[in-house]
Amino acid sequence: MKLSIRDFLCIERADLDIGSITLVAALNGAGKSTICRGVAQVLTGTPTFGIKKSEAGVLVRDGAPECRISLSDGDSMVAITLPQADYVTTGEPLNATVYAAGLTNIMGLDAKKRAAALADYLGTEPTREHLEAAMKDAGFKAGVVEAAWKAIQEDGWDGVLARTQEFGQKEKGKWEEATGEKGYGSKKGESWTPESWDDDLAQTSVETLQSNLTEAQNDLDGALRNQGAEQSVIDNYKNIVS
């Protein structure tokens, strides 16, 4: 593998044969770190890593019109040109991640981003089989698993989690509004009963409850009509007396 650097930062010219392990030695300030950075940027395809594209000129050696870094191995080649920030490849791609190239320290990421990055390397991203097993243990049917997996493919695990949490908050609000209770939780939801609850109601069918409700409503309507009739008689006598 051959590395070629022209006019990158403090490096005017560098041509190196890169083996599996390559030692780059020089005095302080001679450009060892610059060579490593050049290799990293060309392998990751990030000509202006860490800066804006409009600022790419700062990476070109003072007095030079442009910079070029290329890495080749047989028929494969990758190169960047600055300040244009062009990136070209030929043949089998020569590449590396920003972590492998040393441009980003994976341990310097926040916990969420670090977990996502490590999941890619370690292959710990949950699969459909993991989801099916977990949902089966929780008692969900196959159709629900299919819908859940489709949602995960569209929005990702974090997206589905956020959407589920939002849905749960809305349902909690509906429950609290209907019951007049606060502090809903799974245990409270399972054991809560309204005031004056009769355990016999749990054994009563919906049809019976509906029939009782209709009968009570009819009685109430009749009572209200009678009350209205009695009030009209009183009003009539008042008119006669007056």
Pick the CATH number of 2-94 from 3.40.50.300, 1.10.238.10, 3.40.50.720, 3.20.20.70: 3.40.50.300
Where in the chain do CATH 3.40.50.300 domains reside? 2-94
User: d(Cα 118, Cα 125) in Å, to the nearest integer?
Assistant: 9
Query: What confidence category does residue 95 fall into, taking pLDDT thresholds of 50, 70 and 90?
Result: very high
Q: What is the pLDDT of residues 6-37, one digit of tens each?
A: 999 999 999 999 988 899 999 999 999 999 99
Q: What is the pTM of this model?
A: 0.57
Q: What is the mean pLDDT of the chain?
A: 87
- Alpha carbon 186 to its chain's center: 25
pLDDT exceeds cutoff 70 at 137:
yes
User: d(Cα 24, Cα 5) in Å, to the nearest integer?
Assistant: 14
Contact predicate 90/75, CB 8 Å: yes
